[in-house]
A and B are shown apart, each in its own frame.
Chain A
């Protein structure tokens, strides 16, 4: 009997091994869970983190609020009333912190219009005594988080307008000093430095917008009509014909009610009276002419007319508000409706925090509600990742992957389609090359090769499977690619000439055997085939070079470009196909050979005994019996090719294009991860999208491998019984 201490040790060992074993298995399987959890936040829309109600103190009774803005850290709220000037409130407590009258507007009476473009700081105020104030407001943040947030006011110029010119709205272009105002009668006026004022001949104006970079004026009117002008050569030039922003329904009453420009000022958001929002921009057509196009309109509409539109200063989010107090937060590129907030308050102003992570809504009497939002990945949607998206400046919807750009207003293009395409393209070319070579070789080895050579070939191929893929990729890029660019016709000719030469050789050999007695033993015939293959390769390469010299003026890449219109990259899909062949062939070969060898020899012997030739036996008995095993081998090869990273990284140009041509490169999911993940900010959108693409790879290979494994196990059981 075991001693007590031995029994204790036994129990301890059981505990440790169970714990360790389950732990390791859990850790290994936990990879999937972790990657899944890391990409999960992509799919959450914006969420309300906290909601807070308050009322502004210190308002004069009857005072109307004209403007309200919050700073980017959402600490302060600046409110411009029509009686006094700026008041700065602490947002957390609602307490008044600072009062700032606007210099130059003292005793000007009630303000009629106020406008402030926060990113550029340009601001314009118009009072009932005809005074027009142009200048700049700027947030000033303290060095530490504790100090108060201030507002800096800097006047540029002061105008005195005549009594007849009562402006309802006014906007200011700071670089040129031009202002554009909308009169109470619905007429547009423009003022220029030097004092000249002119009426702009635009009818039925419902809203307008003056850009802050280039002096471009967008005018929205009835029936969705949009007109666009640019101030150039001392005149407003129409940039386009009137745009109908409601395509397909020209007769509907969908008056444009509000306009906003997204970051970068190339995309315009249009809100209409029916609660629809649309996004459009200028597109350069092939002739060079620019046309304004509505690119996105798949947003969930609001029930009421869009009165307020506000865009984020950091990304392509925008906020739309209707008069019944319903707010919608959208992202332009991903066409995603991130959030809808219903307040049932008569809102006079709603504000999107500059970073897009908060919304503030205020009623005219100073009651407000402040939502802090969690809105980390607005640019991702199913459509943005897998659908065709019409990106800013593109001619039409397209699948594009371009995750990072040079400037802040860069529009990330996160379509995974070119990457998935690249992965499939690389896999396809690799398998096109690998499957025939591996299967032919495996069948020969299993059925026709002398056992002595089989004992050499099998371990050799197994060793081939262990070649590091970085070496394969490097050889492909530095040796194969330059060679291939000089010998494309020859290499393509191999696929035709090699089989022909080998078949011809076989026929000739049969003739010789028929006439002369056998001199070399049967199992040495394989060397004959080997020699024939070498000869065929050399012949094809030389022949290809000859063809290239005679018909292609010595250079296939140039010829392909001129005659076929195909671009030729040196590192292309053919190179990858060949190099990945090295990685995939041994795998398919070994598994297929195992499958073929595991077919019980009795089947083969029975067939031969019935008088079938070896070839008939192979074709009719062996292959059907091993069919599912061979299928499983191909599946595993597919899985390997899909996930291969270094070879595709090194042997292609890594350009994410959609083109099946074998002479082009591509960018695969795996290589894309290797290239972009080290630079992706932790838990940013790109980071999570790359995790998602890793999950795709994981899922795809896991499924394929499991299928193959199940098939393999079933076969094993079948023949164990037999």
Chain B
């Protein structure tokens, strides 16, 4: 017999492998190939996180404005978004320029071939203006017209910036009137109409008469408010700004139409940071504009959070109950193991299947019945018989129920049997044991399961598309009109926002930064939830190791 080869591991430090150790025999290339697999995996993760982080955070950075003079004499002014090789023309690259001014040019993004550009310069004084409509305007401030007079020339920009703040106040006043007061009157009128329809169905004459009277009052109030809003608008229209593009075409608009204006080429780092912070705040706090390509994602954040909270309210008590039943009460039998495997496997069933179930069962079956019983006066317009936040949260609750059940069962199993026996032997009832001993011991584990469930639910989109998520919800599912929670309403969701803006948007180029920012936000939320769960789990493990 040959002497066995010496294992390489045995000569850990400093030893020189002898020549007989052929790397092929030792398997070094194959081991390295295994390592390459791991490297690819890690690289993918780094790449994705890096990409999301970079593109997501840069989305709000105010870029410099470049003036490009082309061979044929045309001049463009805009933000250079990216440079890439021209397909089919090796060695030639092209620039994507955001030229804005969609109302003037018809497009706001153009591609220019790099070799056609004669001159490129950062133009001092060029202004980037974010408007409520038509996307940004890129050009110059030509003149400001107010009741106090006209300012033009060099001082126009300063005058414009001075008038911006009062204009915003006027705009907010109009908005408060139209969205707030008039919206409330409209809501009240709608409620009364529905009550009248119900009264008509029941034949309550005097109720109808009373409702008619209220309706008259409301209509008068509506007219009065509308008149006030009209006057405010008239006043607002007297403050205008004239903007000019780089080729000298001009556009005049009310100052209140402008959200933000700055001259990126003249800003220092601090100034740019200021703009960045303002845009970031807008992203978190305001509603989307321009078919979701600009503005903020507040309604989507709100919808996601509310849906997830509702889902937790449904899933946690019931999930824990199911786990308690399976672990503490049920007889051990093959049926129980079969059920356990089945519940386990439901976690792997495609989420879209839950969406189908939600649509068929909750929306059409339950919702349809509820509508026929409780809201017959609104039919055929469905109330609960269409997707809404309630059905969405219930669907997701079912989707994540296996996660909660499995995690809770594991947590219950981790509580030492001796604790239970000690409690029972002291005369406590089973429930007292569970409530005082088992559940407190298992609570970190249950919390872990809950957080994992929330993370799964927050990132899930496919089933929501069937049960109530929309690209633009006019109202939040929670507001100051009683009964405050409007669970039948449709809602917006960060994940669906990504899908919708990235894929259904008419202006994908303009939307891309927003999508990256939204994606980063969603990923951060999900990752933070998961990290918290992992932290809790680790602490839990340590506790029971020593406990």
Please report A residues at the B interface, Cβ cutoff 8 Å: 1-2, 6-7, 9-10, 13-14, 16-18, 20-25, 27-29, 31, 34-35, 38, 436-441, 443-445, 448-449, 457, 459-464, 466-475, 477-479, 485-486, 498-499, 502-503, 505-507, 509-510, 513-514, 517-518, 522, 525-526, 529-530, 532-534, 537, 548-549, 553-555, 557-558, 581-582, 585, 589, 608, 610-616, 618-619, 636, 639-640, 642-646, 649-650, 670, 673-674, 677-678, 682-683, 690-691, 694, 697-698, 701-702, 705-706, 709-710, 713
Binds A, one of B71-79, B126-134, B430-438: B430-438
Do B349 and A34 touch (CB < 8 A)?
no
Do A466 and B401 touch (CB < 8 A)?
no
Do A611 and B7 touch (CB < 8 A)?
yes
Find B87's partner among A466, A485, A614, A691 (CB 8 Å cutoff): A485
Residues of A within 8 A of B70 (CB): none
Q: Is B355 close to A, CB under 8 A?
A: yes
Do B534 and A438 touch (CB < 8 A)?
no
Nearest Cβ in chain B — how far from A27, in angstroms? Answer: 7
Q: Is B422 close to A, CB under 8 A?
A: no
Find A613's partner among B26, B455, B530 (CB 8 Å cutoff): B26
Nearest Cβ in chain B — how far from A672, in angstroms? Answer: 9
Known contacts A35-B357, A471-B52, A674-B466; can you find 14 more A-B pairs with CB under 8 A?
A2-B427, A21-B325, A28-B398, A440-B36, A441-B40, A461-B45, A463-B527, A471-B495, A503-B29, A517-B16, A526-B38, A529-B36, A643-B348, A643-B352
Do A470 and B32 touch (CB < 8 A)?
no
Residues of B within 8 A of A25 (CB): 322, 325-326, 339, 343
Q: List 18 A-B contacts (CB under 8 A).
A: A18-B329, A20-B318, A24-B322, A29-B346, A31-B354, A441-B37, A444-B38, A469-B461, A471-B519, A502-B29, A503-B33, A509-B32, A510-B26, A518-B13, A611-B7, A614-B8, A650-B502, A705-B345
Residues of A within 8 A of B325 (CB): 17-18, 20-22, 25
Known: A441-B41, A522-B12, A678-B465. A21 touches B322 (CB 8 A): yes
Do A468 and B87 touch (CB < 8 A)?
no
A546 CA / B6 CA spacing, docked (Å): 46
Chain B residue at minimal CB-CB distance from A614: B9
Do A507 and B29 touch (CB < 8 A)?
yes
Find B42's partner among A16, A457, A517, A678 (CB 8 Å cutoff): A457
Known: A20-B322, A443-B34, A498-B36. A709 touches B345 (CB 8 A): yes
Q: Is B277 close to A, CB under 8 A?
A: no
A503 CA / B534 CA spacing, docked (Å): 37
Do B343 and A466 touch (CB < 8 A)?
no
A698 CA / B466 CA spacing, docked (Å): 17
Nearest Cβ in chain B — how far from A466, in angstroms? Answer: 5
A205 CA / B390 CA spacing, docked (Å): 67
Do B499 and A645 touch (CB < 8 A)?
no
Residues of A within 8 A of B44 (CB): 581-582, 585
Nearest Cβ in chain A — how far from B432, in angstroms? Answer: 6
Do B515 and A474 touch (CB < 8 A)?
yes
Do A448 and B35 touch (CB < 8 A)?
yes
Residues of B within 8 A of A7 (CB): 429
Known: A448-B31, A503-B33, A613-B25. A462 touches B534 (CB 8 A): yes
Do B499 and A646 touch (CB < 8 A)?
yes
Known: A22-B325, A709-B344. A461 touches B352 (CB 8 A): no
Residues of B within 8 A of A436 (CB): 37
Q: Is B278 close to A, CB under 8 A?
A: no
Do B40 and A674 touch (CB < 8 A)?
no
Chain A residue at minimal CB-CB distance from B428: A2
Residues of B within 8 A of A28 (CB): 322, 343, 346, 398, 401-402
Find A636's partner among B28, B84, B348, B405 (CB 8 Å cutoff): B348
A554 CA / B28 CA spacing, docked (Å): 39
Chain A residue at minimal CB-CB distance from B339: A25
Nearest Cβ in chain A — how far from B499, in angstroms? Answer: 5
A513 CA / B508 CA spacing, docked (Å): 54
Find A697's partner among B6, B17, B34, B350 (CB 8 Å cutoff): B350
Find A467's partner among B51, B321, B401, B526 (CB 8 Å cutoff): B526
Chain B residue at minimal CB-CB distance from A706: B345
Top 10 nearest A-B pairs (CB, nearest first) are: A643-B350, A21-B325, A440-B37, A615-B27, A468-B459, A611-B4, A10-B429, A645-B462, A444-B34, A20-B321
Do B89 and A554 touch (CB < 8 A)?
yes
Residues of B within 8 A of A13 (CB): 430-431, 434-435
A267 CA / B346 CA spacing, docked (Å): 46
Do A555 and B459 touch (CB < 8 A)?
no
Binds A, one of B60-68, B148-156, B175-183, B359-367: B359-367
Chain B residue at minimal CB-CB distance from A479: B51
Chain B residue at minimal CB-CB distance from A608: B7
Q: Which of A449, A612, A702 has the most CB of B within 10 A?
A: A702
Q: Is B220 close to A, CB under 8 A?
A: no
Do A645 and B350 touch (CB < 8 A)?
yes
A549 CA / B89 CA spacing, docked (Å): 9
Residues of B within 8 A of A636 (CB): 348
Do B26 and A673 touch (CB < 8 A)?
no
Known: A17-B324, A17-B325, A582-B44. A444 touches B7 (CB 8 A): no
Chain B residue at minimal CB-CB distance from A453: B38
Known: A441-B41, A615-B30. A459 touches B361 (CB 8 A): no
Residues of B within 8 A of A24 (CB): 318-319, 321-322, 401, 405
Q: Is B19 close to A, CB under 8 A?
A: yes
Residues of A within 8 A of B427 (CB): 1-2
Do A643 and B41 touch (CB < 8 A)?
no
A554 CA / B87 CA spacing, docked (Å): 7
Nearest Cβ in chain B — how far from A498, in angstroms? Answer: 6
Residues of B within 8 A of A17 (CB): 321, 324-325, 328-329
A38 CA / B342 CA spacing, docked (Å): 21
Residues of B within 8 A of A475 (CB): 48, 51-52, 519
Residues of A within 8 A of B317 (CB): 20
Nearest Cβ in chain A — how far from B463, in angstroms? Answer: 9
Residues of B within 8 A of A702 (CB): 345-346, 348-349
Do B32 and A643 touch (CB < 8 A)?
no
Residues of A within 8 A of B45 (CB): 460-461, 464
A22 CA / B36 CA spacing, docked (Å): 48
Do A533 and B466 touch (CB < 8 A)?
no
Do A558 and B88 touch (CB < 8 A)?
yes
Do B329 and A439 touch (CB < 8 A)?
no
Nearest Cβ in chain B — how far from A70, in angstroms? Answer: 28
Do B90 and A549 touch (CB < 8 A)?
yes
Q: Which of B9, B317, B346 has the most CB of A within 10 A?
A: B346
Q: Is B485 close to A, CB under 8 A?
A: no
Find B34's partner among A1, A441, A589 (CB 8 Å cutoff): A441
User: 0/1 per residue, B296-331, Cβ < 8 Å to A?
Assistant: 000000000000000000000111011111101110
Known: A10-B430, A474-B499. A466 touches B37 (CB 8 A): no
In the complex, chain B residues 517-547 whose Cβ is within 8 Å of any chain A Cβ: 519, 522-523, 526-527, 530-531, 534
